Structure 1
Amino acid sequence: MLWDIIFSVTIGGLVGVVGHVRKHGKIIMPRKTKKFIYLGFLEELLLGAVASLLLVLYTAPNSLVEIIIFSIIAGIGGDTVLNRFKVLNQEGEK
Structure 2
Amino acid sequence: MDIIFSLVIGGSVGIIGHVRKYGKIVMPRKTKRFIYLGFLEELLLGAIASLLLVLYTSPNSLVEITIFSIIAGVSGEAVLSKFKLLQENNDEK
Within the candidate set 21, 24, 27, 1:26 is matched to 24
- Give the secondary-structure state (helix, strand or coil) at the position aligned to 1:86: helix
2:75 maps to: 77
Given candidates 46, 61, 64, the residue that maps to 2:62 is 64
Identity among equivalent pairs (%): 73
Amino acid at match of 2:22: H
How many Å separate the matches in 1 of 2:8 and 2:28?
20
Amino acid at match of 1:24: Y
| TM-score normalized with structure 1 length | 0.97
Query: 1:87 aligns to what?
Result: 85
Q: Return the alpha-carbon distance in structure 2 between the equivalents of residues 36 and 5 of structure 1.
A: 31
Distance 1:41 1:77 in 2: 16
Displaced runs of 4 or more, over 2 A: none
Alignment of 1:30-69 (within 5 A): 30-69=28-67
User: How far apart are the structure 1 equivalents of 2:57 and 2:86?
Assistant: 30
CA RMSD after TM alignment: 0.4
Distance 2:38 2:91 in 1: 22
Q: Which amino acid letter does the alignment assign opposite residue 83 of structure 2? A: F
Cα distance in 2 for residues equivalent to 1:40 and 1:23: 12
Following superposition, the deviation at residue 62 of structure 1 comes to 0.3
2:59 is paired with a residue whose SS is coil
Q: How far does the alpha carbon of each residue in 1:28-53 deviate from its partner, in whole angstroms, 9 at most, with x for none?
A: 00001000110000000000000000
